[in-house]
Copies of this chain bind each other. A is one copy, B any other.
Amino acid sequence: MTRFALTLEFDGGPFMGLQRQAHGPSIQQAVEEAASAITGEVVTMHAAGRTDAGVHALGMVAHIDVAKPIAPFRLMEALNAWLRPKPIAVLACEVMPEDWHARFSCTGRAYEYRILNRRAPLTLAKGQAWQMPKPLDAGAMDRAAQVLVGTHDFTTFRSTHCQARSPLKTLDRLAARREGEYVVIEASARSFLHHQVRSMVGCLALVGIGRWDDARVADALAARDRQRLGLNAPPDGLYFLRATYSSGVEHTELA
């Protein structure tokens, strides 16, 4: 068996999420079916992150194991051909050691959230950004974001369906910046709780319109109570950017 790491880009709009679901299409099902069609084998995909329905990826990392001898470039090309016309693309494909695991070896995950800050509705970016009509103060959002950076109990910012054993997470970076009509928020950590990025973005948006301040964000965090969450941002604006890997002296950044 050869283990292949895949870097995936996808539009999450038409999918029920990354993970295989009984009730609808998923990224996992699409990639597994394409790989099975190519190899004639039953293929299982493991990914660095389990993105929700409607969440996109610019550089999701996943792996599959294949018995049939095939070069990484040929596998990538064949997967892209089989995946058409679904909005999933394999951007990179490389052979990895058998003990490397897209999810368990991953030491860093980065997300980006895009808010289109204008009154006019979305056209070309429909389903790919969150539209907020009220003017956002990106500077205030960036300052408030620093309240959340560090090791905390993120219960307030965690979906009630979250399956993680502990609500304790270390948020390495949370930054907001203006880019023209957009406010872009970047978040990176070893791992995130379910809905954590969208929950943090929702509260920062309240700061951006002046309804919340830094103290209110700190209170919400300290409360460790999901009821204290200000707002959960919709999936449309969320992008899985990249996964980082390190093992011993080696350091691999895929995507």
Which residues of chain A have a CB within 8 Å of any CB of chain B? 9-11, 56, 58, 76-77, 80, 83-84, 87-91, 118-124, 126, 128
Contacts and interface: CB of A to CB of B under 8 A. Distances in A.
Contacts of A120: 9, 76, 80, 89-91
13 contacts: A9-B123, A10-B123, A11-B123, A11-B124, A58-B124, A76-B120, A77-B119, A84-B121, A87-B122, A87-B124, A89-B122, A89-B123, A91-B118
B119 A124 contact: no
Contact of A87 (B9, B10, B126): B126
Contacts of A9: 120, 123-124
B123 A80 contact: no
B124 A56 contact: yes
A77 B77 CA distance: 47
A121 B15 CA distance: 18
A9 B119 CA distance: 13
Contacts of A87: 122-124, 126
Scoring A58, A80, A122 by chain B CB atoms within 10 A of each residue's CB, the highest score goes to A122
Given A80-B120, A124-B128, 12 more contacts: A9-B120, A10-B124, A56-B124, A58-B124, A76-B119, A77-B119, A80-B119, A84-B121, A89-B122, A89-B123, A90-B120, A91-B120
Contact of A126 (B11, B77, B80, B121): B11
A11 to B, nearest CB: 5
A87 B127 CA distance: 11
A123 B77 contact: no
Contacts of A91: 118, 120
A120 B79 CA distance: 10
A119 B10 CA distance: 15
Nearest to A83: B121
